[in-house]
């Protein structure tokens, strides 16, 4: 009986190690899959290469047209997350900055990160963020409020058909409990 128990313990240890390895590998696998499919802007247009600047040179501002940029915020958890303003109007090539507001309304510390998406989809490669809270994870204490900027330039080479761009962020907890999606 003792031998059977040790075999079972060994099998359970292998299963636990496999589950840990799967969870650990999930983020790099996600990044590679998204990069291959072209659906994750972090893997395509926002990749930071060591030794290079993320700021692209500001070309001449195209004052002949205006693009409305709408801001959206989705929270996957019990906290408040919203843009300080719903939209702005910018000229392609013009530097713009908007703020997003965060508040941890839980009674515990949490770490979280935001993932951006764009509509229309073809606007993503032309939406160049110079500074963004989405570049890293943040830790918020219980009740703590923060404001973080997004500084961006829309490439003047963007299609003249694009009149409105929606920048949407999904803010989710990292390393903690994430509530299930509503059914």
CATH number of the structural domain 54-173: 2.60.370.10
Going by pLDDT thresholds of 50, 70 and 90, the confidence category of residue 42 is very low
pLDDT of residue 35: 66
Mean pLDDT along residues 89-99: 93
Mean pLDDT along residues 148-163: 92
Return the domain boundaries, the chain.
Answer: 1-44, 54-173
Q: How far is CA 79 from CA 54, 87, 171, 181, in A?
A: 30, 22, 9, 15
CB of 81 within 8 A of CB of 73?
yes
Specify the higher pLDDT residue, 18 or 152: 152
| % of the chain at pLDDT higher than 90 | 32
């Amino acid at each position: 009986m003792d031998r059977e128990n040790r075999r079972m313990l060994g099998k359970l240890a292998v299963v636990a190690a496999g589950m840990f390895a799967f969870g650990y590998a999930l983020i790099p696998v996600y990044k590679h899959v998204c990069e291959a499919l072209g659906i994750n802007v972090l893997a395509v247009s926002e990749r930071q290469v060591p030794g290079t600047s993320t700021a692209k040179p500001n070309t001449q501002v195209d004052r002949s047209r205006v693009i409305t940029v709408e801001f959206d915020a989705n929270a996957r958890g019990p906290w408040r997350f919203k843009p300080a303003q719903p939209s702005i109007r910018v000229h392609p090539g013009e530097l713009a900055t908007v703020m997003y507001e965060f508040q941890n309304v839980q009674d515990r510390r949490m770490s979280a990160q935001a993932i951006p998406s764009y509509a229309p989809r073809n606007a993503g490669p032309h939406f160049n963020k110079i500074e963004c809270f989405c570049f890293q994870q943040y830790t918020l204490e219980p009740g703590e409020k923060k404001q973080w900027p997004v500084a961006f330039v829309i490439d003047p080479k963007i299609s003249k058909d694009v009149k409105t761009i929606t920048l949407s962020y999904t803010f989710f907890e990292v390393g903690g409990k994430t509530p299930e999606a509503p059914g």
